[in-house]
Amino acid sequence: MPATSRNLTALLLAFSLAVLGLLGGALAWRVFEHSEPPATESLIVLPEPRIVADFDLRDQRGEPFSLQDLRGRWSVLFFGFTSCPDVCPNTLFQLHQVRSALLETLGPDEVPEIYLVSVDPERDTPDKLASYLEHFDPAFKGVTGDDAQLRALTLQLGAMYHVAPHDPGDTAYQVDHSASLMLLDPEGRLYGVLPAPHVVDHIIADLTEVLNNSGSG
C-alpha cells in the first residue's frame, strides 16, 4: 500500500476513534447524570440530539435536497460512493436486510429513510446514483453535491472523507471515507451513530428499540 494511502487510512481511523471517544464520553456523562439510555446493541446515542445546520445538495432525481427533506421521519445516512469496491455495497446490502426486517412489523412510512450520501460527486451523477441504488433497494435515496456542501454536512455529523488528487478526466482515483451510519430523528437532528463494523441483527434491534420508544416519529 502506498505511503499516502496508509497515511489517509490512519487519519480516517484516528478521526473515527476520536469521534467515537467523544460520543462514548457523552454517553458516560448521560449515565452519570442518571438519565437512562436506550437499551441498544451498538447504537451510540447522544445525550441530546445535535442540531444540524441547513445544507444544499441534490438527490438522485437532480432535485434540491436540504435539511427540510430529512424532517418528518427517522433517517439513516451513510456516506460513500458508487465506485466503492466493498464497504459501500456490503453496507447497502445490510441496510436492505434491515429495512426488509423492519417492514415486517412497521408500515413503509414508519421505517427510517435510507440515504447514500455520495462523497464522489465528480463520478456520481444523479442518474448513476439512481441506477446504483436500484440494485439494492428501490426505496433507497441518493444525495450528493459540491465539496463545500458535503464537507459542511459531514463535519457536523462526525463523518470524514478524502478524494485523492487526480488529473481532469481520470476516473480511477481513490476515495477514503468513514463507514459509520448516522441516525437522524424526525426533526433532522443527529440522534446517534452506528459505528462500523455493522451487524444486521444489532441494527434491527437498535432501530426497533428507538422507534418503539418514539412512536416511530
Residue 118 dihedral angles phi and psi, to the nearest 5°? -75, 130
Q: Three cell numbers at 75?
A: 433517517
Question: Is residue 34 marked as binding?
Answer: no
Cell numbers found for residue 140: 433507497
Containing 205, the helix (H) or strand (E) segment is helix 200-214
202 appears as a binding residue in the annotation: no
Backbone angles phi, psi at 153, to 5 degrees: -80, -45
With vertex at residue 18, the alpha carbon angle to CA 157 and CA 85, rounded to the nearest 5 degrees, is 65
- Measured CA to CA, the distance from residue 200 to residue 93 in angstroms comes to 10
84 labeled part of a ligand binding site: yes
Between CA 194 and CA 197 the distance in angstroms is 9
| Binding-site residues from annotation for Cu cation | 84, 88, 177
| Binding-site residues from annotation | 84, 88, 177
